[in-house]
Amino acid sequence: MSIEDPNHPAIAVIGSGFSGIGVAISLVRAGFTAVTVYERAGDIGGVWRDNTYPGAACDAPSHLYSYSFAPNPAWSRRFAPQPEILDYLRRCADEYGITEHVRTRTEIVAATFDEHRYRWELTLSSGEIAYADVLISACGQLSRPSYPRLPGTADFAGTAFHSACWDHDFDPAGRDIAVIGNGASAIQFVPHLVEKAHSVTVFQRQPHWISPKPDGEYGPLRRRANKWLPLLQKIPRLAVFCWFEGILNPMLISRRGRRILAAPIRLWCRWNLRRITDPELRRTLLPGYELGCNRILTSNDYYTALDRETTRVVTDPIATVRPTGITTEDGRQFDVDAIVYATGFRSHDFVAPMRVTGLAGENLDTVWKSGARAYLGLTVPGFPNFFLMYGPNTNVGSGSIVHMLESQMKYIVGAVEEISRVRYLDVRPDVLERFDSETRQRLAGTVWNTGGCHSWYVADTAAGPVNTNNWPGSMLGYRRRTRRFDADNYRTVPRPAEPAHNRRT
């Protein structure tokens, strides 16, 4: 299909996680069936396909971390484990007819807008060329693992892998294991490693606020009730949403909210720290920055795992990796035969490694050299008919990203409906400037910018540190901003007038 058939523009979606599958479903349900989802891996799922480490699970309650139009009565727990989330995505793709639109093992390495034909030219890694009238990047912020730049990593003689690329042939039994990093993934898999390993050494750059995890199992009776009484799913979804919107988000984005709301949550996290019996270790694990500067983590067994005799926490920076272990800057040597990198993702590379070229040969990487910016996190001037899912400044420090994604899906469907009437849409530069100025001003007072931590939300750019990831408001606020497509904020190139003899009378 082509935009020459305006009712069926060809739409390319890059990525098949919650973003890609969700926007594809929304477009098909709206009648736009010429959708192709390009996935470089062999299966759909995004981060829930890739992150298969022991204990992998969502840190947002399952009833909220799911599409509102596709509730799942079969969740086994309040916080669903990775296999169930991946099965849920596959099931949604099947039930809504998206699986047949997916091209797996197909990577887009470059996308160039053809100004004469008003379409995107897509270069695949195989050398094949494909075309699309609308291009949607659904790569996400957490798709490319980040590795620390440490001298000697190539010389390490043991087993080494990133938590997002878990080596399932690796047996931790009797091994001396180094875990570099102590974030959201580490707190889930470290308790599993310590059960079998001879020793586990966690290299910690900074501690995190970790609250108890209010998890629980849903038995067969509750799952049957969820199926026959949908209200039993809607009530917990609403309750969790209100908790995030009414308590946690105001604490993160408002100085006044921090003064009023942070104290009880901080006490809750410190109460969780009681699981550590060693007073010195407890001090090592107590953050010195404000609550919420990094995402508040949840775990019931991480501290217990660190309190074992076979586990140690090292806070001195790593100087080098040796063939048989790690040396820290204070000269201590730690002999290990396996290294697990729990160092997160390259969260500021929103479309990398794909090269995106817009009008006048403008490269998106060049445009973003001082930090990624997009109007509503969705569109960038000079890149017509190009949309981002989970783009700059649309992450939530507390809550469910799926709610934000659904807002973006609705907006993009409205944009595609408008594209059916014009050649292309290009957001005006002044609109982005106003939006970005407002966003930076609002972010300036948030705990992410002022809380004193080292956060993955903030990028080191040519212009200095910039928070390119977080939305400086509530999920409801973002929903209001995206509830309808605002065509007045876009420059349009109209379609040529139809010859009189072709017009319908």
Q: Hey, is 312 helix, strand or coil?
A: strand
Residue 466 token pair: 């910039």
Residue 461: per-residue pLDDT = 72
**pLDDT bucket at 5, cuts 50 / 70 / 90:** low
Q: Give me the residue label for tokens 């919420």.
A: 292
CA gap 162, 182 in Å, rounded: 13
Predicted TM-score (pTM) above 0.85: yes
The answer to whether 332 touches 325, Cβ cutoff 8 Å, is no
Among the ranges given (64-78, 192-206, 240-254), the one the predictor scored with the smallest mean pLDDT: 240-254
Per the DSSP assignment, residues forming a β-bridge with 379 are: 375
Instruction: Give the pLDDT confidence score for residue 494 in this predicted structure.
Output: 86
pLDDT band at 504 (very low <50, low <70, confident <90, very high): very low
Task: Please give the average per-residue pLDDT across 208-215, as a whole number.
Answer: 94
Residue 251 pLDDT level (bands cut at 50, 70, 90): confident
Look over the chain and give the mean of its residue pLDDT values, rounded to a whole number: 91
Which residues, other chains included, contact 162 with Cβ-Cβ below 8 Å and sequence gap of 6+?
A: 145, 147, 340, 341, 342, 343
Q: Which of 141-150, 343-352, 397-406 has the lowest mean pLDDT?
A: 343-352
Beta strands in 262-413 (DSSP E): 297-298, 311-314, 318-322, 325-328, 333-335, 338-341, 355-357, 386-388
Q: Are strands 318-322 and 325-328 parallel, antiparallel or unpaired?
A: antiparallel
Q: Would you state the pLDDT for residue 498?
A: 54
> Given this model, what pLDDT does residue 226 score?
87
Q: Is the pLDDT of residue 499 over 60?
A: no
pLDDT at residue 502, rounded to an integer: 42
Contacts of 52 by beta carbon, 8 Å cutoff, 6+ apart: 82, 166, 168
Question: By C-alpha distance, which of 13, 109, 112 is closest to 363?
Answer: 112
